[in-house]
């Protein structure tokens, strides 16, 4: 994002890394080393396309290829990274990305959230504090597939899925500073 466009916050303290209950993985996040931070701050984009890309990226961090591969692997295992690889833009693939929300009664929340997560078209899903408490993104290579997934969720849960398709995009860039 943003925090790199104009960094202002100090690095997170070890306490802040541990303080949050975190996402689905409840395991304790290991404290990041300086190398980990550097890796995260420099490798959220720009990973090369060449024969030995880890070697090239490692050189810019002042480490060797094996060390970089091992650190990325460890950070993925620890849940500090959710993914490593290309980020695709659904819009440019002739596909779509649609935000949607549901108001799910508390007693049914987990069941409905699990069901939504099972649909392969659902790329992200967040619980949010609002009457509309379940917010998710349907992404696929056609609008019809996303619409079908939303219809299916409605029919199986008996709850409306409110669609919030983007009508205009003003800015998108999420790069987090570690």
Give residues 124-163 in contact with another protein (rule: CB under 8 A): 124-132, 134-136, 139-141, 145, 162-163
Number of residues this chain uses to bind another protein (CB under 8 A): 97
Interface residues for another protein in 64-103 (CB under 8 A)? Answer: 65, 69, 72-73, 75-76, 78-90, 92-95, 97, 99, 101, 103
Distance CA 175, CA 1 (A): 4
* Residue from 104, 122, 150, 153 in contact with another protein (CB under 8 A): 122
Closest contact distance (angstroms) between CB of 102 and another protein is: 11
* Distance in Å from the first CA to the final CA of the chain: 12
Q: Based on CB atoms, which residue is closest to another protein, 63 or 78? A: 78
**Sequential DSSP letters for 5-65:** TS--SPPPPHHHHHHS--SS--SPPPPPPHHHHHHHHH-SS----SSSHHHHHHHHHTS-H
Q: Based on CB atoms, which residue is closest to another protein, 46 or 62? A: 46
Q: Based on CB atoms, which residue is closest to another protein, 62 or 129? A: 129
Q: Does 12 bind another protein (CB under 8 A)?
A: yes
Q: Does 34 bind another protein (CB under 8 A)?
A: no
21-30 own/partner pairs: CB under 8 Å, 24+ apart: 22/79, 23/79, 25/79, 27/78, 27/79, 29/78, 29/79, 29/80, 30/78, 30/80
Q: Does 105 bind another protein (CB under 8 A)?
A: no
């Amino acid at each position: 994002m943003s925090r790199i466009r104009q960094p202002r916050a100090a690095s997170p303290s070890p306490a802040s890394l541990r303080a949050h209950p975190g996402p689905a993985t409840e395991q304790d996040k290991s404290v990041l080393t300086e190398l980990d931070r550097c890796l995260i701050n420099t490798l959220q984009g720009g990973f090369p396309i060449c024969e030995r890309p880890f070697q090239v990226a490692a050189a810019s961090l002042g480490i060797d290829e094996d060390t970089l591969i091992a650190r990325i692997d460890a950070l993925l295992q620890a849940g500090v990274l959710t993914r490593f690889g290309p980020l695709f833009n659904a819009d440019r693939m002739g596909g779509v990305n649609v935000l949607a929300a549901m108001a799910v009664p508390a007693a049914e929340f987990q069941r409905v959230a699990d069901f939504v997560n099972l649909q392969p078209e659902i790329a992200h899903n967040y619980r949010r504090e609002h009457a509309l408490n379940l917010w998710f993104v349907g992404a696929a290579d056609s609008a019809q597939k996303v619409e079908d997934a939303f219809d299916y969720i409605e029919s199986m849960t008996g709850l409306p899925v409110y669609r919030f398709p983007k009508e205009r995009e003003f800015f998108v860039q999420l790069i987090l500073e570690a």
